[in-house]
A and B are shown apart, each in its own frame.
Chain A
């Protein structure tokens, strides 16, 4: 996203109003690691979904968790909390 293509101060709506939804801040690229889930070992307990501070873990149709890497910051809380130990933190290259 080149800064040149974004609207300038004159085109932006006035005041401290966000130009776009914060959904569009793809914070997933902030992290150094990312959560990788072994769905074969997963017991579908849903704890990872509730512990994820970013709400980045949602579910596949079969009930196994699915990480949205656009928002996963790689904090590792899910891996720590997973009772089945099926989440591994994979370092980004």
Chain B
């Protein structure tokens, strides 16, 4: 049975802070950066008002923020942080340490363009840079999804077979600063759902124990690991990501039963008889949905797939969502300089062509630095896909939409 929920007006940052307040983690260490600032402001108010038991660590940089979370999580505490763009870049060293040490930290990322030149608006260059870091990455379309992901993330991160950190990514300003209606669960329902932190079992020099720093059964976490064991430890991370792929749908089902909102890897929309379709991440997919409806009223057979989880990459779910659509456009808000295409495009191609499907695929990079992705631009993308369908081949695999050439 779904829980009684309250409808509240919140922007994405507030939804993230509010969900985290209900989770009440032991430690929050964060440094404010646009467009994530509101999360840190709200959370420090919750702490000052005594609404949470959290120890708030006001650090002097993002490197320190994640370092503090790593230390806290290693002792067995729950730790949350939030960042964006250059803040995430400054965390770089610690991002890999957090996942390498298998610490299930939850971090909100209000996606923002990386400098330079300096830009505070939305694209996915920050999170895409961290795609190979061993973090699970959830991309949200709206504030409701931010709220849901910010509660659910803890259960995914702390799943005994997973034990990896999670980034809850949502578009800076477009979501972080836009007031929307959000259904929120009662505090006790959130607390019941996230429960107490779950630990994996490991073995130290004093025998089998929980994976945390405990003076009664001490272990060392993360010391020198050279040619003899580092590779095996990385393979454990690979396995953990594969386990995450199995664990996420289970946690999704459980949480959907509480909220009544279905959680899936992929949200296919009007794909049944689609001849061309678009796949993408984040808030822009809301606009794509509108354009799909509009083109459908004109009798055009178009569809779309919103992808929610980027890491681990849900290959099977993607293939199932694509079905037999002959032409697929990838819309993404990140460029990968010097590569054959954007990061989502490359993964989609690898997945599709690895499966033996002959789908024609083109990349449409859009919205860099917060450039608005208008319905007109999306119509242009669909027009491009229709022309690929007619010609039966892709003349220009990588396209930049909404830029002056």
Q: A residues near B, CB below 8 A?
A: 1, 3, 6-10, 12-19, 21-22, 25
Q: Are B232 and A8 in contact (CB under 8 A)?
A: yes
Taking CB atoms, residues of chain A closer than 8 Å to B224 are 18, 22, 25
Q: B residues near A, CB below 8 A?
A: 100-102, 163, 200-205, 211, 219-226, 228-229, 232-233, 235-236, 239
Question: Known interface pairs A9-B236, A12-B236, A13-B204. Does A18 touch B220 (Cβ–Cβ under 8 Å)?
Answer: yes
8 intermolecular pairs with C-beta atoms under 8 Å apart: A3-B228, A6-B232, A14-B163, A14-B201, A16-B101, A16-B221, A17-B202, A19-B229
Query: How distant is A6 from chain B, measured CB to nearest CB, in Å?
Result: 6
Q: Are B228 and A22 in contact (CB under 8 A)?
A: no
Assembly CA distance A18 to B219 (angstroms): 9
A-B contact count (CB 8 A): 61
Query: How distant is A54 from chain B, measured CB to nearest CB, in Å?
Result: 14
Q: Are A15 and B211 in contact (CB under 8 A)?
A: yes
Query: How distant is A13 from chain B, measured CB to nearest CB, in Å?
Result: 4
Assembly CA distance A1 to B201 (angstroms): 27
Taking CB atoms, residues of chain A closer than 8 Å to B203 are 13, 17
Q: Give the 3 A-B residue pairs with the shortest CB-CB distance, closest first.
A: A9-B235, A13-B203, A16-B222
Taking CB atoms, residues of chain B closer than 8 Å to A12 are 229, 232-233, 236
Question: Can you add 6 more A-B contacts, CB < 8 Å, to A12-B229, A14-B102, A14-B202?
Answer: A12-B233, A14-B236, A17-B203, A17-B211, A18-B220, A22-B224
Q: Are B101 and A15 in contact (CB under 8 A)?
A: yes
Q: Which residue of B lies closest to A6 (CB)?
A: B228
Q: Which residue of B lies closest to A12 (CB)?
A: B232
Q: Which residue of A lies closest to B208 (CB)?
A: A13
Taking CB atoms, residues of chain B closer than 8 Å to A22 are 223-224
Q: Are B204 and A16 in contact (CB under 8 A)?
A: no
Assembly CA distance A8 to B228 (angstroms): 10
Q: Are B201 and A6 in contact (CB under 8 A)?
A: no
Taking CB atoms, residues of chain B closer than 8 Å to A21 are 205
Q: Are A17 and B219 in contact (CB under 8 A)?
A: yes
Query: How distant is A1 from chain B, measured CB to nearest CB, in Å?
Result: 7
Q: Are A16 and B228 in contact (CB under 8 A)?
A: no
Query: How distant is A14 from chain B, measured CB to nearest CB, in Å?
Result: 5
Query: How distant is B251 from chain A, measured CB to nearest CB, in Å?
Result: 20
Query: How distant is A17 from chain B, measured CB to nearest CB, in Å?
Result: 5
Q: Are A18 and B225 in contact (CB under 8 A)?
A: yes
Query: How distant is A11 from chain B, measured CB to nearest CB, in Å?
Result: 9
Question: Known interface pairs A1-B228, A6-B228. Does A15 touch B163 (Cβ–Cβ under 8 Å)?
Answer: yes
Question: Known interface pairs A9-B235, A9-B236, A9-B239. Does A14 touch B228 (Cβ–Cβ under 8 Å)?
Answer: no
Q: Are A9 and B232 in contact (CB under 8 A)?
A: yes
Taking CB atoms, residues of chain B closer than 8 Å to A10 are 239
Q: Which residue of A lies closest to B201 (CB)?
A: A14
Taking CB atoms, residues of chain A closer than 8 Å to B200 are 14-15
Assembly CA distance A21 to B228 (angstroms): 13
Assembly CA distance A8 to B233 (angstroms): 9
Assembly CA distance A12 to B219 (angstroms): 14
Taking CB atoms, residues of chain A closer than 8 Å to B101 are 15-16
Question: Known interface pairs A9-B236, A25-B224. Does A14 touch B211 (Cβ–Cβ under 8 Å)?
Answer: yes
Assembly CA distance A77 to B225 (angstroms): 26
A1, A12, A16: most-surrounded residue (chain B CB, <10 A) = A16
Assembly CA distance A22 to B223 (angstroms): 9
Assembly CA distance A14 to B162 (angstroms): 11
Q: Are A15 and B232 in contact (CB under 8 A)?
A: no
Assembly CA distance A17 to B204 (angstroms): 7
Assembly CA distance A12 to B203 (angstroms): 9
Assembly CA distance A25 to B163 (angstroms): 28
